[in-house]
Amino acid sequence: MVEPLLLLALLVVLGWPLGHYLAAVMRGDPMRSDVLFRWIERPLYALLGTRPEVGMGWCGYAKAFLLSNLVLALVVWAIFMTQAWLPLNPDGVPNMGWDLALHTVVSFLTNTNQQHYAGQAQLSYLSQMTGIVGLQVVTPVMGLAVAAATLRGLFGGRQPQAQGQPVDVGNYWADVVRATLRFVLPLCLILSALLTWQGVPATLAGGPVAAPVEAGAQFNVQKIPLGPVAPMVAIKQLGSNGGGWYGPNSAVPLENPTPLSNFLQTLAICLIPVSIVFMVGPFTGRRRFGAMVFGTMLAMSVLSTGLAVWSEGHSAIAADIALMEGKEVRLGSDASALWAAVTTQVNNGSVNSMLDSAAPLTGMVAMADMLINAVWGGVGCGLQQFIVYLLLSVFLAGLMTGRTPELFGRKIEGPEVRLLAVLVLLQPLVVLGFTAVALAVPGLAGNSNPGFHGISQVFYEYVSAFANNGSGFEGLGDATVWWNLSCAIVLAAGRFPALVIPLAIAAMLAAKRRAPEGAGTLQVETPTFALVLIGIVIILTLLQFMPVLVLGPVADHLALASLLAR
């Protein structure tokens, strides 16, 4: 447990100052670095046609968010389908088909990075550097911006200058520009340099050609794909993206060459999400609330990580399957289990071993992390999902204690509860619905295992898409029109409602008159409420998805245990 404890300690040591700095960035506080950044930001504001000091209502903020996503989607989709005719394609990579290009665009636009392609073989350098890395930089910041706007609304927002105007939740374009230039890109530059130092490639030259040791008549040479890998790996980890330069992701030695590079990438997966949690207290002015958020997420993270490490490396079954294909033999099973836990606690999805080869209960832990989607969560998205659980917990706790549900002096009433119900029901309807169709139609899923594990393979793919995680059990023939289109729908359904609806609820609460807090007010900044919230999260997850978890990973575990006992 040395590595998990060291990881947690470094996350606290680094996340605390980064969270306070991020709070200042999102508030727009004056900084010494303004001399450097303002000359970059001002032309961008002029190009976007916005004034950063002018705020927006929640509708204007949401429209700007959706419009920016639409424009980026069209541009990147065009790049993918024309990459063979564009520059920076030394390996002669052909154009992408329309359905694969559509899935790839939606996947990276939703900060998911679910890959139905092999990056080193089906994307040119230009596609990787502009379409893939560009979306990897911008899309997590978009989520962060919406989360910041939601916090402004939840805690009262900036009061409008005229009567009847909506509550000011900030300026979307200013939030995105400031967070990108002042926070995300500097961190990416530092991590990219560290990974290059560890041997991760960073070049625009074509890959070398090598002669295999056992060269046959058909394959007498092998082209080793290189490229500007280190910068992409930096943003894939820091931005809770996960899509690797190479198809097998960080299981490839070129993308993850040393134990230190492995630890740096594991640390980077959680760094910004943890920093955002530390941002909550100083950003809202309620440090006890920030402590409650951190404590709740930390408790769920410790439980998830402990179960994954035990299941993968120290359970009775793990000893018998330790040498299965897909395991990371360079770094050991504990490092793989730790990565599997944190990559699903965060909407990251990168891997350093193949999850399809993990112990069944390790796979179930990964599924549970994604179903909860707020253990730490993605950049901005995790905090949004946590706010959904927070509002549900306040509502249910109010009903159980006979009090009118209210949060920070503002009542949670019918309109807010109906919107919360949409989010609660959307996940099982979409995920279970597509899983049922894929399993019911013969040959549609294309899974490699017809048994219990085959159910896990299909279910995991849709859970990963809806959670905007991107990892996969593999073993699926997922480069088909069905998988590309169905996953594109699930990806969008898991991203945009989960960001926009909490923003709308926060704005609705901000518009209500605030009642003074008294002895009868529900206190949410306490350990007792944190335990209630964790209980509600677990109950919601188990009640909605227990049948498929039993038919999938639990049955797979029992079948494997029975087989090994013979």
The residue with greater pLDDT, 304 or 208, is 304
Q: What is the pLDDT of residue 238?
A: 95
What are 363-375's pLDDT values in tens digits? 999 999 999 999 9
Q: What is the pLDDT of residue 19?
A: 97
**Quick check: is 406 in a domain?**
yes
For the chain, give the percent of residues with pLDDT over 70. 93
**Quick check: is 498 in a domain?**
yes
Q: What is the domain count for the chain?
A: 1
CA distance 484 to 489: 9
Copy the structure tokens of residue 299.
């408790």
Q: Is 108 helix (H, G, I), strand (E, B) or coil?
A: helix
Biggest alpha carbon distance in the chain?
A: 83
For the chain, give the percent of residues with pLDDT over 90. 62
Tell me: pLDDT of 450 over 80.
no
pLDDT band at 222 (very low <50, low <70, confident <90, very high): confident
**Quick check: is 560 in a domain?**
yes
**Quick check: is 410 in a domain?**
yes
Computed over every residue of the chain, the mean pLDDT equals 89
**Quick check: is 142 in a domain?**
no
**Quick check: is 147 in a domain?**
no
Residue-range definition of the domain harbouring residue 444: 385-565
Q: What is the pTM of this model?
A: 0.92
Residue that the structure tokens 């359905």 belong to:
99
Average pLDDT of the segment spanning 541-558:
90
Q: What's the residue count for the chain?
A: 566
Copy the structure tokens of residue 108.
């990276």
Q: What is the pLDDT of residue 320?
A: 54
Neighbours of 4 (CB within 10 A): 21
CA distance 240 to 242: 6
Contact partners, residue 76, CB within 8 Å, separation at least 6: 105, 108, 109, 130, 131, 134, 135
**Quick check: is 404 in a domain?**
yes
**Quick check: is 273 in a domain?**
no
Average pLDDT of the segment spanning 358-386:
92
